[in-house]
Amino acid sequence: MKKKSIAFVLIAVALSFIGVNCKKSRTDAAFTNEVKTTDKATEADILIKNGLLYDGTSNEPSIKDIAIKDNIIVFIGTANEKNVTAQKTIDAKGFIVTPGFIDPHTHCESTLNASNSITRANLSYLRQGVTTILTGNDGYGTINTQQQLSKWQNEGIGTNAGLFVGFGEVRKEVLGSDNVQPSVLQLATMKELVVKAMKEGAFGFSTALSYLPQSYSLRKGTEVKELAKASQPYGGVYDTHLRSQGSGIIDAIKEVEEISEHAGNLKVHISHIKVTPISNFHLVNDIIAQMNNARSRGIDMTANVYPYLASADGLSSILSTSYRTSQSVYNTKYNNANDKNNMLNAVNNYFNSIGGNIQEGAKRIVVADSNPLWKGKSIYEIAQNQSKTEANTVLDMLYTKLGIGIHTYSQSEDVMKEFLKQPFVVTGSDGVSSHPRATGTFPEVIKKYAADQNLQSLAQAIHTSSGLTAEIFGIKKRGFLKVDNYADILVIDLDKYKANSSYQEPTLYATGIKHVFLNGKHVIENDVYKGVLAGKSLRKNE
């Protein structure tokens, strides 16, 4: 009996040891034995040899070969030693080999829905090395998830793509665009729309609580909480553009915490984390502390950041929502003396807040509009050309056209870097066609800030641009170079990898991507797109 007891104790200790070691990082532990080894020869379609391989974890790289058969990675290791043969071999000596990058925040719906196949190729992202995007962010995601995903799959798209179901679309479907609160019955109908979208494959529920009509939801109400909760049983992520990115940002983060807790510790993800304007830059450490505190309490809170100092928005966003619900409403208020005076004061206050004085603030807002009298010029320059005050210039422009795009230089590079360094922050572009972040975000993070400036290790920058993002959103078999994962693989000439776009020319593609394999298909070869639409529609519940 004593011998048996001793044996049981030894087994228990061994199992305990194994259990402790299994608590190692999910990504690191998964790669301790990633190579399948057999005596039988491995036959592949593509063999990429001699590259410095970053596997998508934060582990340091090593020289390895990687083989593709059909759409799957079938080998990682030393091909000569394991008798791996392939129809085509690519020598990646001197280059880095990484997983395809994953962008969790884009606005690609119109691109992927285009009738033109070259537009659907999504080259702004593909040429950066982005092979998977999520879209429908900021509350814009369609309520017809199945219909949209099927359309992309049938017509062909250039990157893998998944969807969020958007609060704005759900609210408009049931409540319209009015400033109203839902009844019990209406809220139940809205929840049914979220559940339907999740069952059809949505990755979560997205909001932008400072955008109309989403901003009509009450800060202390249950509307957003209940809709987010509806996504929880399906593994959803609550993805949000905060209610405030200014002085109220700490309270906005607390709102996200409350939503997570109400929804049973729902995963929450803050999009394009930042703080503006200059008067609030000092809050950066408080913001990071607030998020770390939430994480220490068990809330699965993450965020993404883009590496640019100007945001993209509408000129009308300077004004409160009551002045910008429609062109006719705005024009009526413009012609009312009291309303116009209030708007002039609001514009001047905004200029002061972002620049310290009216003139400096007006210099920080650059117009992104096709009108040649405005395009690429600051509000200060336009005012000077028209011999008007800056505030009157803004109101007159909006009287002509309420929907004027702008770039507002309201952020700090030091603050952005602090966010970028956080281990729970991933890369996300929030890409729009008028802003260079749609074409340059990933090379800026990986080449400029990691490889060149050593803000973080290159392995960490690649991890937060691929594997970590896949883990956060539950994107299966992507984001890591691992046997049996889908073959989304990049070969990058790091010396030449760079963003070429600017605020003046935002649509210029990045360069330096030697090869892109997407679902095993060779879609970019020697920095040239091959015309292949190899992307897949992704569903959370697959």
DSSP-assigned letters across all residues of 179-199: S----HHHHHHHHHHHHHHHH
pTM of the model: 0.88
Closest CA to 483 of 66, 28, 74, 82: 74
In degrees, to the nearest 5, what angle opens at C-alpha 300 toward C-alphas 298 and 301? 120
CATH 3.40.50.720 fits 101-308+413-424+431-453+498-529, yes or no: no
- Identify whether the C-beta of residue 351 lies closer than 8 Å to the C-beta of residue 390: yes
Query: What pLDDT was estimated at residue 322?
Result: 87
Query: What pLDDT was estimated at residue 39?
Result: 52
431 three-state secondary structure: strand
User: How many other C-beta atoms lie within 10 A of the C-beta of residue 203?
Assistant: 31
Peptide bond into 213 cis (omega under 30): yes
Residues 6+ away with beta carbon under 8 Å from 305:
272, 273, 274, 416, 419, 420, 425, 426, 427, 428
Structure tokens at 490: 């990049």
Q: Angle 327-334/390-400 helices, nearest 10 degrees? A: 140
Query: What pLDDT was estimated at residue 6?
Result: 43
**Predicted confidence (pLDDT) per residue in 158-207, tens digit:** 999 999 999 999 999 999 999 999 999 999 999 999 999 999 999 999 99
**Predicted confidence (pLDDT) per residue in 45-86, tens digit:** 999 999 999 999 999 999 999 999 999 999 999 999 889 999
435 vs 260: CA distance, rounded Å: 32
208 three-state secondary structure: strand
| Range(s) within the chain of domains with CATH label 3.20.20.140 | 101-308+413-424+431-453+498-529
Query: What pLDDT was estimated at residue 4?
Result: 42
Residue numbers in the chain where pLDDT is lower than 70: 1-40
